[in-house]
Amino acid sequence: MWGSIVGISLLTILVLIAWRFINWVWVQPKKMEKILRAQGLKGNSYKFLFGDAKETATMYKESYSKPIGIHDDIAPRVMPFISKTVNTYGENSFMWVGPRPLVFIMDAELMKVVMNKHTSFQKSFKISNPVFKRLIGGLIRYEGDQWSKNRKKLNPVFHLDRLRGMVPIMQQECENILNEWKEMVPQDGHALVDVFPYCPDYTGSVVSHSLFSLPFEGTVKRTFNIISELTLLANQAQPFTIPGEQYLPTKKYRRANEIEKEVHGTFSSMINERVDKRNRGETNGEKDLFDLFLDELHEQNPKNNQEREMIVHEIIQQCKLFFIAGYETTSNLVAWTIIMLAAHQDWQARAREEVRKVFGNNKPINADDLMNHLRSLTMILCEVLRLFPPSVEVSRIVEEEISLGQYCIPKGSMVMAPVILLHRNPRIWGDDVLEFKPERFAEGVLKAANGHAAFIPFGWGVRNCIGANLAQWETKVFVTLMLLNFSFELSPTYKHGPLVSLNMQPQYGAPLILRRL
């Protein structure tokens, strides 16, 4: 009798598991597909389990296998399947990320709704591939009160008054790199230098000194580098993975585990050292970003080692986030700005004339001049951010069925705001949308977009990027000093290849011909 009961119970459990699996991979996707098509949305038919993932991965591999022309539209390269879907089915379309439909939101106003209604549209990190999940934590992943509390606490570190004090550090770290280049370039000659590898050293040193009060050397520099390696392993070309595959002993996951273990150990040591200094009263005046993270240990007052480890884990996630954002995101912005100025000599000359007027007599760079007296450089930076936004898209999961414009989006589906397509929409920016024309920003962002609020390189609303001003100030400092010390042009060996890992970077580097001034 008991054997029969156990057998029936096991059979019931197996049937329930089987039904849940079938419901997840077939019944629900087909229901959502029917709902979307009934509203006029178009896309490929759903394919069991993988959806469009296989074709997406194939297209990314093909796209990244060769460079493009510097004046070509980069959208088909950095999001090939999305570009193909929109070209095939129109703007009112969707694709499949595994068993979830992903609806494209192409209207700027609806994009803002998605980014602002964070309770209805949750960030998609929880269904991201396993390596990508390791990268994204802390503030960017928080929701509700947890986000509000942390954002309010961290805002003062990125306030304009605080950024003013960081400018001398930016200048010093930049000059260290420029002096190294001067050693490579003859006084009356020229030299080929790939400037891209130097950009992360610059931004990493600014972040480590300004936000963490740590020298950019040894273990700290290595931590920046291996976190950057993890962003490449995250591979956005693989938007969907089979549940549990991260436990397979593949080369990618073995390396990701090694990096995660090393990063955790390094940050744990940094946390313990800083806590010991604080306990001994060895503080250095105003709290830096690292100190604000560590306040959690004091505020939450863990009762045992398990609670402490949970808090430390969150601190490490916060540190990783700001290492990535301050190191890789900003370095890519610096690199693309330099590349565009190298490709457009007229704007390079115009920007150089401007910075010479402001800083020509070895005048120290200061915040007021950066903000108020570099009009051409500000326009250039806006155009670079339009063409090479730090985030090419914003994806969200629909938590409950919701109306969005004329559409009813079913629960469990996803929506995406393809920022890079918004920034290249000729109806908003004009027929010259693919051209590098900083003058379009001469009368401000709103005028450039013909009255549309369609310039969102750092997000929108209350959850815009907390470090946006820091990234732009760092870029302005570096480009200003480079213009004062060198003229530069693209090397004949330069190959144009925007590539998206966590954000957009030049796949083949940035080899330039430098001449000293």
Give the contacts of 471 (CB within 8 A, at least 6 positions apart): 325, 326, 329, 330, 333, 390, 458, 465
Contact predicate 103/409, CB 8 Å = yes
Give the contacts of 502 (CB within 8 A, at least 6 positions apart): 132, 135, 231, 234, 236, 324, 328, 329
Name the helix (H) or strand (E) containing 193.
Answer: strand 190-194
Helices and strands of the chain, counted as H and E runs: 23, 12
408 annotated to a ligand binding site? no
CB-count burial class (<10 Å; 0-12, 13-18, 19+) for 162: middle
Contact predicate 147/330, CB 8 Å = no
Residues, the chain, total?
A: 517
Give the contacts of 300 (CB within 8 A, at least 6 positions apart): 307, 311
Question: How far are the Cα atoms of 176, 199, 479 from residue 186, in angstroms, in the given order?
Answer: 18, 22, 21
Name the helix (H) or strand (E) containing 322.
Answer: helix 305-324
Q: Give the 3-state secondary structure of residue 255.
A: helix
- CA–CA gap between residue 508 and residue 517 (Å, rounded): 27
Residue burial 212-228, b: 16+ Cβ < 10 Å; e: rest: bebebeeebbebbebbb
Binding residues: 465
Binding residues for heme: 465
